[in-house]
Chain A
Amino acid sequence: MSEQIDAEQVRKVAKLARLQLSDSEIEEFTGQLGAILGYVEKMNELDTEGVEPLAHCLPISNVFRADEVEPSLGTDRALANAPERDGPFFKVPKILDDNSAA
């Protein structure tokens, strides 16, 4: 099942996930991911003709809450586990290109 995914794809996925992998790790994960995909591939043996795509595995919808304010954590508790802080801010490595999406 090694044709499921090649080293190049693993490199790309790692880059997207901001993971730095060594060559030996690339090789290891190519094998592991290939095995997982091969396992999932089994599902393709099922006949899904005429079966609606499923968006969610629970047969429920419309779980809402009212638009009512509950207390937030507050700055100090929010930052309690941060590796580094700068005043009330999370401190992160310098961002060079700012193309935030949303």
Chain B
Amino acid sequence: MSDISYEVIVGLEIHVQLCTKTKMFCSCELSFGQEANARVCPVCLGLPGALPVMNRQAVEYAMLAAMALNCEVSPFTKWDRKSYYYPDLPKNYQISQYDLPLGSHGYIEIPLEDGQTKRVRILRVHLEEDAGKNLHTAGNFSQVDLNRAGTPLLEIVTEPDMNSPSQVRALAVELQRIVRYLGVSEGDMQKGHMRFEPNINLAIKRPDGEFRTPIAEVKNLNSFRALERSIAYEVQRQLDEFLETGVTLQMGNKSTRGWNDVDEVTVLQREKEEAHDYRYFPDPDLVPVTTTPQWLEEIRSRLCELPLARQTRYVTEYGLSDYDAGVLTAERPTADFFERALAAGGEPKRVCNLLTQVGLKMAREEGVDLAALGLEPAGVADLAKMADAGTVSATAANTILESMVATGKAPTALAQELNLIQTSDAGELEGIVDQVLAENVQAVQDVVTGSKKSKKARGFLLGQVIQKTKGQANPKVVSEILDRKLK
């Protein structure tokens, strides 16, 4: 076993549901949780004579996503029919894009665990319509709900550039962050807005040569966890299979597997040999899409700074930790709020601490995003300034922020109301220090003689002063006075 090494090779196909109001080719509203078959019309039911018309918003969302993924956006794309027969596909074909995808030759940067980034190439990005849903009942029949039929889907296909389950997960998470930033998808995993299909195999090195295991495609994964685990499972399964049987990659031995979430195993799916004969041909019902430089420029102007670039900038420009930068850039409303607070004069690290330690925690508890807590960025900036100036302690600042959310009042008013203003007036504090020193002769002795108890005694004296001011003395100022007096 020790003379064998292998590399994991994974490419990923992702379907992202776009957040348009209506379906791809008809004006039915997109649905989640409605009564079955309530949101269908002659077009998405595939009734004879009904004609599809493109949703401009869906096409523009797709172009925007393609641009964010650094793709070349094709000046000419068309629609093709992908034929297959299944009860959830009423027309017996899916409208998709075959040989002329909307975007191609792009890439996405993903963060690695060691803090570096990796570039994964994007083969193509195209638009298509979703199918409906089959429900398998206990009886001797199945149920079909066509509400989802015709929902716009963005299909993104990467090159096989990923080499571990965690890299694939990182790509999926990064893609979710990007589509949410762009506002082209809600990226809600619970609602099935993102579905993944990894293609996995191994490149094995042994003294007797180099081998590739047969590619397995795992279908329809709808969580990051299932994505990561199914790949980890496949790696071990393919390694075991190779060691046992020596089977290697050949034409036609790619397999399709499903993921069993309960047992955490992939299961071979029997597929009829002709299942992939989709007989694509151009859809005569739909005219092509041609782009002009002006139109592309207009869409390009809607691009924003992407999350990973923003995260990196927070580290280099503001000196935040990579972890904090990741937390602040996870959702666009949070990052936007953070930057508005900086624009209002808040110091980055201080604002970051207030938001990550209190703001985001409260937002999570309320089940809303940070921007919806009712905080004003300028108010947070004012509070950060007060903490920096020593007017309030860091702990008090957190308390004040909580009250700002609860009451909507300004930080200065709350600091007074809650009696949290620190005394930094050296003259006033000096009198209290003198009093404490006079009352604690032994401790003073310990500090001055530099005995073993010196450090502890000094801490004790500082504590006494703070206590006498009911916690309102600025510890930094008290400390300076103590240093001066106990030389």
Residues in A lying within 8 Å of B, measured CB to CB: 12, 15-18, 55-58, 60-70, 72-75, 78-79, 84, 86-95, 97-102
The answer to whether A78 and B37 touch across the interface, beta carbons within 8 angstroms, is yes
Minimal Cβ-Cβ distance residue in A for B131: A102
Q: Tell me the interface secondary structure of chain A in the complex.
A: loop
A94-B141 contact, Cβ under 8 Å, with A62-B290, A102-B131 = yes
Flag if A92 contacts B37 (CB, 8 Å).
no
| A94: B residues at CB distance < 8 A | 136, 139-142
Query: Among A12, A58, A75, which residue has the most Cβ atoms of chain B within 10 A?
Result: A75
Contact B38 A74 (CB under 8 A): yes
In the complex, 13 of the A-B residue pairs with CB atoms within 8 angstroms, ordered by the A residue number, are: A16-B274, A16-B279, A55-B76, A55-B282, A58-B287, A62-B288, A67-B22, A72-B39, A88-B35, A88-B37, A88-B145, A89-B145, A101-B82
> Is there contact, CB below 8 Å, between B287 and A89?
no
Tell me whether B134 and A100 are in contact (CB under 8 A).
yes
B64 at the interface (CB under 8 A from A): no
Q: Answer whether A69 and B59 are a contact pair too, CB < 8 Å, given A61-B290, A102-B128.
A: no
Q: B40 — nearest CB in chain A belongs to which residue?
A: A78
The reply to whether A75 and B36 contact each other, CB–CB distance below 8 Å, is yes
Knowing A75-B35, A91-B141, A102-B153, say if A65 contacts B55 (CB, 8 Å). yes
| B269 and A97 form a contact (CB under 8 A) | yes
Chain A contacts for B286, CB-based, 8 A: 56, 63
Contact segment of B83-91, B348-356, B377-385: B83-91
Complex contact A99–B58 (CB within 8 A) = no
A12 to B38 CA separation, bound complex (whole angstroms): 37
Q: Mark B275-301, 1 if CB is under 8 A from A, else 0.
A: 101010010101111100000000000
In the assembled complex, B304 has its CB within 8 A of some CB on chain A: no
The CA of A19 and the CA of B58, in the complex, are separated in Å by 35
Residues of A within 8 A of B76 (CB): 55, 61
* Contact digits for B116-152, partner A, Cβ 8 Å, 1 yes 0 no: 0000000000001111001111011111111000000
Q: Which residues of A contact B146 (CB under 8 A)?
A: 78, 90
Minimum Cβ distance to chain B for residue A88 (Å): 4
Give the interface centre of A18, A63, A74, A99 by most chain B CB atoms within 10 Å: A99
Q: Which residue of chain B lies nearest to A54 when distances are taken between CB atoms in the complex?
A: B282
A98 CB contact (under 8 Å) in B15, B28, B134, B288? B134
Check: B57 CB closer than 8 A to any chain A CB: yes
B105 interface residue per 8 A CB criterion:
no
Interface centre among B78, B87, B94, B140 (most CB of A within 10 A): B87
